[in-house]
Chain A
Amino acid sequence: MSPLDRLFAPRNIAIIGASPRADSLGGILLHNLAGFRGDIYPVTPAHREIGGLACYPKPAALPEGVDLAVILRPAADVPAIVAELRNRCRFAIVVSAGFAETGRGELQEELVQAGRDAGVRLLGPNCLGVFNPARRLDTFFLPADRMRRPRRGNVAVVSQSGAVLVSLLEALAKMGVGVSRAVNYGNAVDLDAPELYDYLAGDGETTVVLAYLESVGDGRRFIAAARRLAGRKPLLLLKAGKERSGQSAAFSHTGRLAGRYEVFSSILRQTGLREVGEFEELLDGAHALSMQRQVSGTRVCIITNAGGAGVLAVDACMRGGLEIPPLPRDVQEGLRLLFPPFYAVGNPLDLTGQVRDADYGKALVALGDHYDAFLVIALTGVAGVTLGLADILGRFKVETSKPLVAHVAQGKLAGKLETLLAKSGIPAFPTPERAARGIMLLLGGEG
């Protein structure tokens, strides 16, 4: 059992600053925790009970053995609240803002000291806290009707920024990608990225981790933890603040070229860690890696029913350092006999607008052993592509451990076909380039 289990799967939660009012933070939190699998202890001097839950007048009145407290009180009150939690509580999420991020460094120091003295591990301050759909744990102060939550799944999201975390989770929900854990650590006075990465490395429900960062405190400690995590499961890092920022006052070329971001990015690359370039790439990565396993390889086969989309996919793969090798001669001859003479038998394999669903299956069977990954483009505007394609691709997927992604935009069937493909564990992307990026991420290379 990991020491952070009780943060992500607490048996009970105290809400410090609870309220019956639906428009207050405390009220929203109680509402969001309605399905929580465990006890809830509202803490407020103003009420005896809220929604049938008995209230505690102050933190010191809480029973012992509280796993998690969520603190929603004004910043100035927080150190004293943490002190009251001594011997009662393991973890406290400090949602309150108004610490170092607004220039109140001394108050933040006070908070750190209070946590240390009380033996309470702190997440935050200035953070949203944690989300664990399997436990119906949700400490976000965003009303359920205003922020869509993703379903339960295998993707963990770790974010320094609360707003970016919310945007990511909503985008994942919309894509139908499920989440195992989500956490926003804000000012990170105690629990920070390295410790959370170590937890996620050992978390059995998480198979891929998306991380958003703005700064890393101790770079070497960060890199060490990120490497430990990336050694266990794919880790996609998005770092904000990429502007060139060399120390212009330096007297050496080295000092002038050693901008914070340049150094960070270069060291990531050298230690084999994967930095993604933009928000969208995190989403594409989550989409692909939540459904399929990362494997090593560089040889991609593209099967398409549209020449142009096929070429765009080739270009994107090549930019990413992947290869699109020609078909082996014997396979090429075999396919020529199998297909009508106007199909362009090569890589990409262009099945043209005359394609039938079954042709994709025949092609995959013939080519399956000769490539590391497959990118299937099936624009659904033509009559020969039907919903039956999902079954055909799904059958191939069951028999192979190799990555297979699809691009099925266009036409009225596209949305339905994407849903069916997702059920078969095949991610479909809205553009050929993003499908190529999905392949790159699955092949563990540079996007």
Chain B
Amino acid sequence: MKRAHAQLLALRSAALGRGSCLEHEIKGMLRELGLSVPRGRFLPRGQPLPETTGLDFPLVAKVAVPGLAGKSDVGGVRTDLRNHRDLARATGELSAIPGAVGVLVEEMVPAGVEVIVGGSRDPQFGPIVMFGLGGVLVELYRDVAFGLAPLTEEEALRLARQPKGARLLTGFRGRQPIDLPALTRVMVTVSELMATGLVEEIDLNPVTLSPAGAMVLDAKLRFRDMPVEAAHNPIKEERNMATWKCTTCGFTKEGRCKPQKCPQCQSKGNFEKAE
């Protein structure tokens, strides 16, 4: 729990100025906390694509836009990149998405049982953990269960057995059972992050389960002192949202408040309201 707290503080100091956390930052923290994430590399916008990324093809590329809730909704994900040319095209296209600050490139992970492990704060129970089947389709099936954070290993195991589809975990119709200890490790870690009191919401979704491990494929996190609008939607839909432009490098960002530091050129205090 102490480690979760320290890691979160480090992540928060990086993210608060920007108003939201980027996927590779959250994944970096999860790796430090002992969870498995795909091998990957963050390529900041404006820097040339390196000759070699050190990663094995096929790769997946995902746009990094501060505050973007759903990357797929803006066409921000490219999968099954087979060679350097594919990668160059993908990173070029993704960098052109408004607000992009870079591209996260990762090795593709074989399919498995997709689940969600999340956390939020309940008005009656405080920090809670959610476990559900269906991964990205979780809101369709609504096959989820909730537990109180922090969870013990044993409580996590009980929570894992709650959803109707839990039989998928223990080897349904000839499939191999998944790695339950790896899953409970993810659940306990999320519960400890929630129990610090620093986090408002977290989604690890999907987490791919296999007979030998649990891999966090996507991660979102919002701190309690981060406004939901900032973490929510890059499209200007609220009256009091504005577009801010960096006078040094021309980087633009949507938000209620004037950003202090430019995530692109790192200069401070150079934002002006655009339009």
Contacts and interface: CB of A to CB of B under 8 A. Distances in A.
A253 B206 CA distance: 11
A264 interface: yes
A257 B144 contact: yes
A250 B122 contact: no
A342 interface: no
B249 interface: no
A266 interface: yes
A223 B128 CA distance: 14
A258 B231 contact: no
Contact of A257 (B69, B130, B147, B220): B130
Contacts of A218: 124
A249 B200 CA distance: 12
Given A251-B222, A267-B147, A257 B124 contact: no
B138 A257 contact: yes
A137 B222 CA distance: 54
A253 B124 contact: no
Interface stretch (B57-65, B97-105, B112-120): B112-120
A204 interface: no
A260 interface: yes
Given A251-B231, A254-B203, A263 B138 contact: no
A263 B201 contact: no
Interface in A257-274: 257-258, 260, 262-264, 266-267, 269-270
A251 B220 CA distance: 9
A267 B147 CA distance: 6
A219 interface: yes
Contact of A270 (B118, B130, B139, B159): B159
Nearest to A220: B125
Contact of A258 (B130, B162, B228, B232): B130
Interface string A199-225: 000000000000000011111101100
Contacts of A222: 124
Contacts of A253: 116, 118, 132, 138-139, 203, 205
B142 interface: yes
Given A219-B126, A251-B222, A252-B220, A267 B148 contact: yes
B182 to A, nearest CB: 20
Interface string A223-258: 100000000000000000000000101111111111
B130 A217 contact: no
B122 A256 contact: no
B31 interface: no
B184 to A, nearest CB: 14
A270 B162 contact: yes
A263 B122 contact: yes
B255 to A, nearest CB: 14
Contacts of B130: 254, 257-258
A258 B120 contact: yes
Contacts of A255: 118, 120, 200-201
Nearest to A218: B124
B202 interface: yes
A258 to B, nearest CB: 5
Contact of B124 (A219, A251, A269): A219
Interface string B135-170: 000110010111110000001001100100000000
A264 B118 contact: no
Contacts of B132: 253, 257
Contacts of A219: 122, 124-126
Interface string A279-297: 0000000000000000000
B40 to A, nearest CB: 21
B54 interface: no
B130 to A, nearest CB: 5
Contacts of A250: 120, 201, 228
Contacts of B138: 253, 257
Contacts of B228: 249-251
Contact of B116 (A217, A223, A254, A264): A254
B48 interface: no
A260 B146 contact: no
A267 B201 CA distance: 18
A266 B232 CA distance: 27
A215 B147 CA distance: 18
A3 to B, nearest CB: 26
Contacts of B144: 257, 262, 266
Nearest to B161: A270
Contacts of B128: 258, 263, 267
Contacts of A263: 122, 124-125, 128, 146
Contacts of B174: none
Interface string B41-85: 000000000000000000000000000010000000000000000
A188 to B, nearest CB: 14
Nearest to B194: A254
A220 B142 contact: no
A257 B130 CA distance: 9
A383 to B, nearest CB: 48
A326 B122 CA distance: 46
B156 to A, nearest CB: 11
Interface in A173-207: none
Query: What 4 A-B pairs come out closest when comparing CB atoms?
Result: A254-B118, A219-B124, A219-B125, A266-B146
19 contacts: A217-B124, A220-B125, A220-B126, A251-B222, A254-B119, A254-B130, A254-B202, A255-B200, A255-B201, A257-B130, A257-B132, A257-B139, A260-B123, A266-B144, A267-B146, A267-B147, A270-B147, A270-B155, A270-B162
Given A252-B202, A257-B138, A269-B162, 20 more contacts: A215-B124, A220-B126, A223-B125, A250-B201, A251-B220, A251-B228, A252-B201, A252-B220, A253-B116, A253-B118, A253-B138, A253-B205, A254-B120, A256-B139, A257-B132, A263-B122, A263-B125, A266-B144, A267-B146, A270-B155
